[in-house]
Amino acid sequence: MKKNIARLRRAKSTRAHIRNLGVARLSVLRTGQHIYAQLFTSDGSKVIASASTVEADVKDGLKGTKNVEAAAKVGRTIAAKALAAGVEKVAFDRSGYRFHGRIKALADAAREGGLQF
């Protein structure tokens, strides 16, 4: 449980910094089976777009939902939805997770999809 407490502490620190930036926040949640991404307004009051490996259109054509390829597809999907909503510049909130593996794949795919962070 100490690992999760440390992760949440890091996430809290990051979110405080992002709040001062005043841009939309791309937040990521990683579980053992799935990966989720949500795009919040700058004040955090509203979800602009979301994507996850639970959604049928994202899950189609994937071998599994807990690998780097699935995370990259979620990143491309959230980038497309964000651009459709008129959001181009975001702050990446990795929720205290280390920037490697699935988190890095999602971020790289979102950048390739047109998001700037």
| Domain coordinates in residue numbering, the chain | 2-112
Give the tokens for residue 11. 């996430």
Q: Is the pLDDT of residue 77 over 90?
A: yes
Average pLDDT over residues 67-74: 97
Cα 96 to Cα 18: distance, rounded to the nearest angstrom: 13
Cα 8 to Cα 108: distance, rounded to the nearest angstrom: 23
pLDDT tens for residues 12-45? 999 999 999 999 999 999 999 999 999 999 988 9
Rounded to whole angstroms, the maximal C-alpha distance in the chain is: 40
Mean pLDDT computed over every residue of the chain = 95
Average pLDDT over residues 89-103: 95
pLDDT tens for residues 104-113? 999 999 999 9
Q: Is the pLDDT of residue 1 over 80?
A: no
CATH code that applies to domain 2-112:
3.30.420.100
Distance from the Cα of residue 106 to its chain's centroid: 7
**Percent of the chain surpassing pLDDT 70:** 100
Give the tokens for residue 41. 């307004």
Average pLDDT over residues 59-75: 95
Q: Among 113, 104, 108, 111, which Cα is nearest to 84's?
A: 113
State the pLDDT confidence band at 46, using cuts at 50, 70 and 90: very high
